[in-house]
Amino acid sequence: MFDPKRILLRRVFFIYPEKIKYISVGFYPSRNFQPPVEIVSPKSNPLILTDQHVKTLAEHLPAQCDALCTDEFYKVPEGDLRMSTSSIYKTTVISLGSKKKNKKSMYFKLHELRYLSYIFFIVQNQLNKYTEAMGDVMNYVLSSLSSIS
């Protein structure tokens, strides 16, 4: 059987030069091989984004950067995805989850958010390619599982 902690195929984009904060797209056996986008940081739980979350982030990332540069407040409440700026610390908070105990948050400084904004079209493109390839991946997985048994 497949190890659920393993990843079949993943593309990683580092946000931070020390390679500790990154965004990735991959096929995860533990998530039924659906290709989610993950934002990972060592100090918090990963944010697992659906394709709708990715679309929302793509729409609002440039405005979030502009708001941080001009010390304006910018808030995006979009279902269980929330984004808001904090001018005191010059950061943006991206949160997922509707209840406090299930809520996951990640903080981004201006330079990290700006870089994420620059590469986000690549992340979207990767997600689209992974979504297109999902049928082939499922055929591969099913044939691998049947050959094991």
C-alpha–C-alpha distance, residues 116 and 120, integer Å: 6
Q: What pTM did the predictor assign?
A: 0.78
pLDDT 10s digit of each residue in the chain, 149 long?
444 456 667 888 888 777 888 888 877 766 777 777 888 888 788 888 888 888 999 999 999 989 888 888 888 887 888 888 876 778 888 888 876 667 888 889 888 889 999 989 988 988 888 888 878 877 887 787 777 65
Domain 9-148 fold: Transcriptional Co-activator pc4; Chain A (2.30.31)
The three state secondary structure string of 29-94 is: HHHCCCCCEEEEECCEEEEEECHHHHHHHHHHHHHHHHHHHCCCCCEEEECCEEEEEECCCCEEEE
Nearest to 49 by CA among 28, 71, 73, 67: 28
Predicted confidence at residue 4, as pLDDT, reads 45
